[in-house]
Amino acid sequence: MTARGPRVPAHVATTRHLCAAYPLVSEAGLGHQGVLIGRDVLGGSFVYDPYALYQKGVITNPNMVVFGQIGRGKSSLVKTYLWRQAVFGRHAWVVDPKGEYGPLARAWGVAPVALRPGGVVRLNPLDTVEELAGPGLEARDGVQRRRVALTSSLAVACLGRDLVPRERAAIDAALSEAADRARVASMPAPTLPQVVEALLAPGIDASQALRTTRAELLEDGRDVALELRRLVHGDLCGMFDGPTTERLRLDGPLVVLDLSAVYHSPALGVLMACAAAWLQSAVRSQHRHRIIVVVDEAWAILSNLGVARWLQTSWKMSRANGVANMAVLHRLSDLQSVGTEGSEQVTLAEGLLADSETRVVYAQSPGEVARTGELLGLTDTEADLVTQLRRGMALWKVGRRSFLVEHRLASGEHWLTDTDQAMIDEPAGDQLPAVAHADSVDPG
Ligand SMILES: Nc1ncnc2c1ncn2[C@@H]1O[C@H](COP(=O)(O)OP(=O)(O)O)[C@@H](O)[C@H]1O
Ligand SMILES: [Mg+2]
């Protein structure tokens, strides 16, 4: 307005009234409980906490999915979010396929658990917390079912096809046998080598229970055994093929499973599923509530139908334990591009989204938005918008509400998130906060 123009008196109102006066422009926000994420583009700060929102009934589950093209700031959001949640005493466990959560771990005084073929740390994905499942046969059944589900998923993923009934029966029989052998050897859980061994040398009891011969049962499970053997004797051995390394430091505020050594392996999804399976039972065994579990680069799991199915069911389970899951993906169509029956992938995508009521959408390509806008519940305007978002800006869909949020990095947080710099050289040590202790394995 020029100095000579008519003077219109300014309209002054409280923020509470403004959202009623301008209903299509101004949002009342999500309240002030939680951690500061950044700036709500329509005004004010944007604060988020899944547990607070759950209590207020804004969302019915605490899980979050973060979508976006590479380099848009997805991992930066996760890292700063965890760092800021630490103020409230929240703990986090992270599956880190690119090995980029090291600075965050060091700032928290812990070292990432580095998993590499032939390395010193082993995690047993078949670990389960029997005492938490309760006593008796029923609990044992539940444990067996979980192990069968995981092993079958791994087999589907390794074979690249669905299992036939004979193979499922062979896996079931092999897991029972491996569990018996583990009990005799006073081991807390069977291991994948024991399962492979039981598949390749089935016992007489197992074959009789299935009204077949040992030779036939061996044939039924042979393909599965040969594929799973890769994790035990092949190029991927030495990570998930034995009892979990003792004295792993799991009591810290942050546990990071660093899988960067296998980031370029075609089996990354399978290895991440093993890591996530172990992590979920370990989280439960720590008896903690309100833990945030992050799977970064989750497309690697989700682009593999076998392990994607498993991840989705395990998300449902962890909800009951007060775990808030976060999955970071490039795009939703990762899930739909697997190539087998389209309908199941859509069901999986829908299930995953139904279980994650917070969806953070960074910039997407127009083609992607056209394909998946409906699944994400984007309006036409929102769909247009997400193709134009710059780095750090995202559309937050929280329950039924939408916010356009600029994620702000504090000046002291760049060392935490700078993946560009990490491509060029090592972050300077003096940028990191002081470290109390940094060993993933307690020397005893
Ligand atoms: N909100 C932000 N403001 C400024 N820089 C950011 C922001 N978010 C991310 N960055 C920078 O962008 C780069 C890529 O971010 P990153 O989180 O690794 O992307 P993505 O995980 O989406 O691939 C990093 O160097 C990071 O420091
Ligand atoms: Mg990232």
pLDDT score recorded for residue 184: 92
pLDDT digits (tens, 9 = 90+) for 49-87: 999 999 999 999 999 999 999 999 999 999 999 999 988
Question: Is residue 94 located within the same domain as residue 161?
Answer: no
Considering every ligand atom shown, identify the ligand nearest to the alpha carbon of residue 68 and give its number.
1
Q: How many CA atoms lie within 13 A of 8 on its CB side?
A: 6
User: In this structure, are 86 and 172 located in the same domain?
Assistant: no
Cβ of 68 closer than 6 Å to ligand 1, yes or no, is yes
Q: Tell me the CA end-to-end span of the chain in Å, nearest whole number.
A: 72
Q: Give the model's pLDDT for residue 42.
A: 84
Would you say residue 247 lies in a domain? no
Average pLDDT value over all residues in the chain: 84
| Ligand 1 atom 23, closest CA | 71
> What pLDDT sits at residue 441?
61
Tell whether 68 is covered by a domain: yes
What is the average per-residue pLDDT within 254-262? Answer: 93
Instruction: Please state, in angstroms and as integers, the Cα–Cα distance from residue 12 to each residue in 1, 21, 24, 88, 427, following that order.
Output: 18, 11, 18, 36, 48
| Predicted confidence band of residue 1 (pLDDT cuts 50, 70, 90) | very low
| Residue 314 Cβ contacting ligand 1 at under 6 Å | no
Q: Which of 175, 201, 231 is the last residue of a domain?
A: 231
Q: Which ligand is nearest to the CA of 73?
A: 1
Residue 439 has pLDDT above 50, yes or no: yes
Is the shortest distance between the CB of 69 and ligand 1 below 6 Å?
no
Is 237 among the domain residues?
A: no
Query: 315 vs 362, which has greater pLDDT?
Result: 362
How many percent of the chain have pLDDT more than 70?
Answer: 84
Identify whether residues 177 and 263 lie together within a single domain. no
Q: Are 376 and 271 in the same domain?
A: yes
pLDDT at 310 over 80: no
Determine the average pLDDT of the residues in 375-384. 89
Q: Is 373 in the pocket of ligand 1 (CB under 6 A)?
A: no
Residues 178 and 89 in one domain: no
Pick left, alpha or beta for residue 358 (phi over 0 → left; psi -120 to 50 → alpha; otherwise beta). Answer: beta
Which ligand lies nearest the alpha carbon of 76? 1
Residue 189 covered by a domain: yes
C-beta of residue 80 within 8 angstroms of C-beta of residue 409: yes
Q: Which of 41, 330, 417 to mutate to test the pocket of ligand 1 (most atoms within 8 A of CB)?
A: 417
Task: Characterize the bridge pairing of strands 254-258 and 113-114.
Answer: parallel
Residue nearest to atom 26 of ligand 1 (CA): 418
Ligand 1: does its nearest atom lie under 6 Å from the Cβ of 420?
Answer: yes
pLDDT band of 2, cuts 50, 70, 90: very low
Distance separating alpha carbons of residues 333 and 74, to the nearest angstrom: 17
Quick one: 224 and 91 in the same domain?
no
Which DSSP string do the residues of 85-124 spell out, in sequence order? Answer: HGGGT-EEEEEETTS--HHHHHHTT---EE--TT-S----
Q: Is residue 9, in this structure, part of any structural domain at all?
A: no
In the predicted structure, residue 428 carries a pLDDT above the cut 80: no
Assess if residue 243 is contained within a domain.
no
Give, using CA atoms, the residue closest to atom 14 of ligand 1: 71
Task: Please work out whether the CB of residue 98 comes within 6 Å of at least one atom of ligand 1.
Answer: no
- Distance (Å, rounded) from C-alpha 332 to C-alpha 220? 36
Q: Which range, 26-35, 91-100, 265-274, is most confident?
A: 91-100
CA dihedral sign of residues 357, 362, 368, 370: positive
Please tell me which residue, 26 or 110, carries the higher pLDDT value.
110
Q: What CATH code is carried by the domain that includes residue 297? A: 3.40.50.300
The gap from C-alpha 31 to its chain's centroid, in whole angstroms, comes to: 27
Residues 103 and 182 in one domain: no
314 with 413, same domain: the answer is yes
Q: How many CB atoms lie within 10 A of CB 87?
A: 8
Beta strands across the sheet bearing 393-398: 45-48, 35-40, 401-407, 393-398, 358-361, 64-67, 323-329, 291-295, 91-96, 254-258, 113-114
Q: Give residue 365's domain range.
A: 21-110+253-426
Q: How far apart, in whole angstroms, are the C-alpha atoms of residue 310 and residue 307?
A: 5
Interval 151-161 mean pLDDT: 88
pLDDT of 287 higher than 50: yes
Q: With H, G, I as helix, E, B as strand and everything else as coil, classify residue 48.
A: strand
Tell me the C-alpha to C-alpha distance, in Å, between residue 383 and each of 33, 320, 394.
29, 33, 12
Cα 67 to ligand 1 centre (Å): 13
Instruction: Give the per-residue pLDDT at 277.
Output: 84
407 CB under 6 A from ligand 1? yes
Q: Which long-range contacts (CB under 8 A, 24 or more apart) does 205-214 make?
A: 205/177, 206/173, 206/174, 206/176, 206/177, 207/173, 209/173, 210/169, 210/173
Q: What is the separation of C-alpha 233 from the centre of its chain, rounded to a whole number of angstroms?
A: 27
Question: How many domains, in total, are found in the chain?
Answer: 2
Query: Does residue 26 carry a pLDDT above 60?
Result: no
Whole-angstrom CA distances from 294 to 19, 116, 320 are 34, 20, 17
The SS3 of residue 397 is strand
pLDDT band at 342 (very low <50, low <70, confident <90, very high): low
My answer on whether 302 and 333 are in the same domain is yes
Query: Is the minimum distance from the CB of 409 to ligand 1 under 6 angstroms?
Result: yes
Q: Ligand 1 in contact with 72 (CB < 6 A)?
A: yes
For every residue of 197-208, which 3-state class applies, written as one string?
A: HHHHCCCHHHHH
Query: 203 with 262, same domain?
Result: no
How confident is the model at residue 11, as a pLDDT? Answer: 75
- Asked if 402 contacts 396 with a C-beta cutoff of 8 angstroms, the reply is yes
Cα-flanking dihedrals φ and ψ of residue 7, to 5°?
A: -95, 120
Residues 220 and 74 in one domain: no
The pLDDT-based confidence of 443 (bands split at 50, 70, 90) is very low
For ligand 1, mutation pick of 41, 66, 72, 76 (most atoms within 8 Å of CB): 76
Residue 149 counted as domain residue: yes
- Average pLDDT, integer, range 160-168: 92
3-state class of 257 per DSSP?
A: strand
Asked if residue 342 is part of any domain, the answer here is yes
How far is ligand 1, taken at its centre, from the CA of residue 191, in Å?
39
Q: Are residues 264 and 223 in the same domain?
A: no
